[in-house]
Structure 1
């Protein structure tokens, strides 16, 4: 680690739980961020600023005026441009040392499996359950840790899922039972995705460095309107079709 890197990451290196060893682990890591919107924006910015060596940002959407209220990686001059490319520019503007690759596509099938398998941590920053279920299944199959978050109105949820372990995301939500409301239909407070995405970045850094205790088997729920926080224990579903030994 050179002098400039020591200065850039000095406040982080001072943390005894990270130190230089943790910083070097971040530099040698690859994170896959699926979604470059309200959640993916702070995840990408903070993981990039923290010195994660390689980020791959996947999103097939373009920047819309309605996004700018909460998707902080994008600016007015990026309207109509691919979100993955816009987020990449925002990250590299803050830390040109790391490698950031935009994936302007919807990952699925073998392509999704390949990207997940090549990552050290996967961050679910999407806004639909179909993609979340597919991401979860790919992470379980590839034994990769998954960090997931969701926001709606004034509420956020964050959790993490250990590689090859239980519970998985599907243990919490069954297909057909998931909520149907979206931010476009119900609204969302602008800063809330930033809070949730920042927490996802914290969980990813903990997983990559071995610091602290990730939210494995726990679901953090925040009611921002009343500022109430709860942490719920989540057990593996013995009948889960994804992670149960005998589905």
Structure 2
């Protein structure tokens, strides 16, 4: 009997990791961009959504370039001290690339960049592990927002439901999520069915650099935070 193709071993050894060449390309791209654009911003992000960020970036492609990825690689590109920075003062920008952060190099005016970043926010469904922004509780009784075909799925999510004459009915009060607590996988699915969006995708400016000046936008970032580390 011929051997089933399903029984073939699959090797992952051919999977290529992003190595030195990839990092060098990023470093070179950032350094080229620094020479081509007027100013640089470090921004942080909350509840990143790749598609929404791609759309935001696309809107500004005529004036700006964005870089996300390894903070260490971006720091190397800019220079981590005054002895290896590629432009005067850029080591201050490098020190602020921490956590969920990115770079924006742009020809936008300072006022326009601040307005666009400060005004931008987009709502989306919360993912598993996100912190609930409010308590959602369903009361005992009919759930008219759900069709009868959804009853088995709702039961699998832990909801005490049954069908009563073709109507989904909750047989007891049920707390979907509690404010300030992590959202479970089941709660995430239920909130999506209820069309309740608890995640806000935001971009927050941290600092701005130009050949003429350097500005911090977030309170609590002291000079020692920049010059140390």
TM-score bucket (shorter structure): under 0.3
Question: Normalising by structure 2, what TM-score?
Answer: 0.23
Question: Normalising by structure 1, what TM-score?
Answer: 0.22
Task: Name the one with the larger strand percent.
Answer: 2
Which has the higher Rg, Structure 1 or Structure 2?
2
Which protein, 1 or 2, shows the higher relative CO under an 8 Å CA cutoff with sep ≥ 6?
2
